[in-house]
Amino acid sequence: MSRMQVHISDHALVRHMELVMGLDVEAVRREIRRKVTVEHPLPGATGVIIDRFTYKIGYDADQPTITTVIDRRTMRRHQP
């Protein structure tokens, strides 16, 4: 009998890193916020370039939210 292939959601991955591996997710969130805030994106901006990464910005009820990070060298977000 073959084993079932299981997809791991991004949420499950983050929770695993937080709970099992002890990663301080809120510290990572603060670091991203600090980096992006230092760059002072213009109102309505869709991204901020920091070093080799683009931090993409989306807007929900006019609240800017970092939605993804793209490696500018490879133009990749991640490989599922």
pTM over 0.85: no
Residues 52-75 as b/e (b if ≥16 CB within 10 A, e otherwise) read eebbbbeeeeeebebeeebeeeee
Query: What is the C-alpha radius of gyration for the chain, rounded to an integer number of angstroms?
Result: 16
**Residue 78 pLDDT:** 56
Alpha-carbon span 50 to 57, nearest angstrom: 13
Quickly list DSSP for 33-50: HHHHHHT-PPTT--EEEE
pLDDT tens for the chain, 80 residues: list them. Answer: 788 999 999 999 999 999 999 999 999 999 999 999 877 778 888 999 999 999 999 988 878 899 999 998 887 665 54
DSSP 49-78: EETTEEEEEEEETTEEEEEEEEETTTTB--
Q: What is the pLDDT of residue 41?
A: 72
